[in-house]
Structure 1
């Protein structure tokens, strides 16, 4: 087994933590543990987003670096008389990746292991067998013999259900496999940006933020941005990796290991030109690799942040990631480290005059 260094230990703790939208306490506590040594103060807003503040210059621009704490998962909706759990998705899921996957139901009495099931294909008509199973035809088997036994286990409607997967360093140790990269990698980037700036001379007030409920509507981004009132914002998240078989560059440009992705456009925002130019100019100056991408659908916390307050110049910087919104996703460690370096170096170049210039660029 690969010996985990301090950075990998943090990534393991972040991704192993259970926290779907509305249930972000575990990952929030992990993020608080790791970001507190580099912050002057750590608070939460009313919805539970974590906000860590580090002052470089007391009257300097406010710079927000936001990743979201929540992961995609499920919620218990009911239990039938035979003890099988019915559920709904929380966040976007492709039903094809759900069947026969192990999950953890987090209850007040402790964790309950389950498996997502459906009718076996052996008893289905041939034409039905060829179709994907719909969510309404799935259930979770927790090994209970009755509804009463399931309730005795502690399961009840509203409990969060989380994909089960252990953080894994692949044979190529640059490749990291885990659940919840979407978006604990953004939280890790926010932590490490504050770490990079701990002893740096810069002219800003930097906020490392772990937002809540991104997967169900960018909700924590709205409330935390209203609380901070940033002058500049970076939404850090996962992006699409287009480097697996069958994907053309017209469908997805991103490649793992080619650097952080600078998102030009998605369904939630058009990236701010002035900020985008500063970021790419900084990367070019320092030889930090990066790649461009644009998405017809989807969005990140930047989409909510940029329309708060009086309007906030914002940019989404993402990590090309394979198999997002499933039980396990894969990303490249170099992309993560280069994203941290790039954002930290941009912040070092920001001051009141630069922010003013960017705003009207």
Structure 2
């Protein structure tokens, strides 16, 4: 999983996705002579199978939850604001990288020490607005001399690691470098076989701050069908599941999203994906997510509407400095993608959009 390692260790906050975009470009150029960009920085590589078939968009997103410098106090501590959704409780004492135009600075998220908290304060989650980042500076002037400015991105630090079971991947930014990886890997596999369509594989910018790249990138790709590649919440840890229905778990297969807060998928397309998984003995799980959304929420409303589905994998500890995913779930997700795309010919596409 060398490519996934490289993608996760790249530092790409929302609006600052250049490191991941460069990796995506290098990978997509191996299978495409036609690399497309929208005007916000989303990137796609065109892989032509049958030019008379439909255009298929494979869309991950390049950004990760991160922060931005919003102020520097007189003693050299950085105040920051979130880029994406963070839960205050997972942030304290974590290492981060402050990224300037010329250099990166390691810092740690700090707050008032617990030894100085009043008893009632210790029972509460410490609010983000009272946190700061300590980069070892002594003054505001020193910070500015180092080249750190308001507006610089701040990204979590967490090394990539394959855990002892040789299946569980530990890293930062699995949301959503997994989607980037799946898009590239599926395109590479399709480059070695026939497919009755044209595939545009790539990733959008600024998903974590409002699905912004997903609103602009369809105008560059002009898809007939879209498959959004993202991650879902694994509910296989203590305290995450309290009822008797099935929930997403690691190592039980990729996710097919039946509902999220931004989209109900094209039902015929949904059924095609499920039937394909069952026909090819690919394990899968159903995700019903009533809170949160994905880039599918924007893409499926492009022009007259685009049949869209979300395929991904479950991860643990989403939107924190570290997450866990299953290698076999990712591999089965790519396998499912490839098999679905092989079936998306002109007749199948017509069956998805014909409501007469």
Instruction: Decide: shared fold, TM above 0.5.
Output: yes
Match among 223, 227, 241 for residue 248 of structure 1? 241
Distance across 1 between alignment mates of 2:46 and 2:184? 11
Distance across 2 between alignment mates of 1:275 and 1:40? 29
Instruction: Verify: 1:319 aligned to 2:310, yes or no.
Output: no
Once the 2 structures are TM-superposed, how far is the Cα of residue 199 of structure 1 from its aligned partner?
Answer: 2.2
- Number of residue pairs the alignment of both structures matches: 354
| Matched ranges for 1:129-140 at <5 A | 129-140=122-133
Unaligned runs of 5+ in 2: none
Instruction: Verify: 1:308 aligned to 2:302, yes or no.
Output: yes
Instruction: Verify: 1:25 aligned to 2:5, yes or no.
Output: no
| Matched ranges for 1:115-264 at <5 A | 115-248=108-241, 250=243, 253-264=247-258
What's the counterpart of residue 70 of structure 2? 77
Once the 2 structures are TM-superposed, how far is the Cα of residue 42 of structure 1 from its aligned partner?
Answer: 1.1
Question: What is the TM-score when the length of structure 1 is the normalising length?
Answer: 0.96
Instruction: Verify: 1:286 aligned to 2:280, yes or no.
Output: yes
Instruction: Verify: 1:337 aligned to 2:337, yes or no.
Output: no
- Contact 2:273–2:340 under 8 Å retained in 1: yes
Distance across 2 between alignment mates of 1:249 and 1:174? 27
Aligned partner of residue 31 in structure 1, secondary structure: helix
* Moved >3 Å (runs of 4+): 249-252
Once the 2 structures are TM-superposed, how far is the Cα of residue 109 of structure 1 from its aligned partner?
Answer: 2.6
Once the 2 structures are TM-superposed, how far is the Cα of residue 183 of structure 1 from its aligned partner?
Answer: 0.3
Once the 2 structures are TM-superposed, how far is the Cα of residue 43 of structure 1 from its aligned partner?
Answer: 2.2
Once the 2 structures are TM-superposed, how far is the Cα of residue 237 of structure 1 from its aligned partner?
Answer: 0.5
Once the 2 structures are TM-superposed, how far is the Cα of residue 196 of structure 1 from its aligned partner?
Answer: 1.0
Aligned partner of residue 28 in structure 1, secondary structure: helix
Q: How well do the aligned residues superpose, as a CA RMSD in angstroms?
A: 1.1
* 1:26–1:252 Cα change, 3 Å: farther
Distance across 2 between alignment mates of 1:91 and 1:67? 16
Match among 269, 272, 277 for residue 275 of structure 1? 269
Unaligned runs of 5+ in 1: 1-7
Distance across 1 between alignment mates of 2:343 and 2:94? 46
- Contact 1:109–1:153 under 8 Å retained in 2: no
Question: What is the TM-score when the length of structure 2 is the normalising length?
Answer: 0.97
- Contact 2:54–2:346 under 8 Å retained in 1: yes
Once the 2 structures are TM-superposed, how far is the Cα of residue 14 of structure 1 from its aligned partner?
Answer: 0.2
Distance across 2 between alignment mates of 1:249 and 1:30? 41
Instruction: Verify: 1:351 aligned to 2:341, yes or no.
Output: no
Distance across 2 between alignment mates of 1:199 and 1:168? 30
